[in-house]
Amino acid sequence: MNRFDGQTAIVSGAARGIGRAIAERLASEGATVAVADIDANGIEGVASDIGGSSFAVATDVAEPDSVAVLHNEVINRTGRLDVLVNAAAIVPFVPWDDLTFKEWRRVMRVNLDGIYLMCRAASDIMRPKQYGRIVNIASNSIFAGTPNMAHYVAAKGGVLTFTRSLATEIGGDKITVNAVCPGLTDTEGVQESPHKDMFNFVDMLQAIKGTGTPADIVPAVCFLASGEAHWITGQALAVDAGMIRH
């Protein structure tokens, strides 16, 4: 399929994990991808690997000036923006008794403030063109109330409700806004945290047994980012092997 021929997409958090897998798929289906992440070295490698006209832009999604530089670079290079996928996030492991306000703000800054800043900049570009697809990566933890990450769950819950509200705000401009809610996924970040020990427990809760990988999340994201999903907006799609059934 070449669902994104001639289109430009921004994928944040694209240096590794789910973000990288999404960037790779969008590029393989014809998109020019702005590979965005705070990890400058990582995104240079991703952009080189996916080839074509895709390019890397080092970006701190929680810094307004950095977000502006990213979007300006996209317009200068391609003249358009069709798809935004917000995958950048911090995934912490902090028990409630150890959760300080400083740590709370560290996660909120990236996981929720960053979503606002990216959607603000992208939608301002999309609205005059009367077309756009925004896909925010939330988490099935917002339905499960996962422990040891209250600030993460709160931020991702905010992503879901913000998604619904923004969909209402800009639906008249033919821009869709949806959220994908992955379950526990085998990424580099998870393997570097205590969450890596939870796969067996999560497997017991899933309708479909097995360990989720970034490749399992990508098809849902790319469908919602495509023209085929023009009649779907303000929705949350759990992609978690049926762990959450709602």
The separation between CA 110 and the C-alpha centre of its own chain, rounded to angstroms, equals 12
Catalytic residue among 152, 179, 184, 202: 152
Four-point Cα dihedral 78, 80, 85, 90, nearest 10: 60
Closest to 7 measured CA to CA, from 32, 40, 28: 32
At 25, list the tokens: 């798929």
At 145, list the tokens: 């109330």
To the query of whether residue 131 is one of the catalytic residues in this protein, the response is no
By DSSP bridging, strand 175-182 and strand 83-86 are: unpaired
Q: Reading across the β-sheet that carries 83-86, which strands appear in turn?
A: 55-58, 32-37, 8-12, 83-86, 132-137, 175-182, 236-239
DSSP state string for 92-161: --B-GGG--HHHHHHHHIIIIIHHHHHHHHHHHHHGGGT-EEEEEE--THHHHT-TTBHHHHHHHHHHHH
* Integer angstrom CA distances of residue 189 from 18, 47, 88, 198: 10, 20, 12, 14
Q: Which residues are catalytic?
A: 152
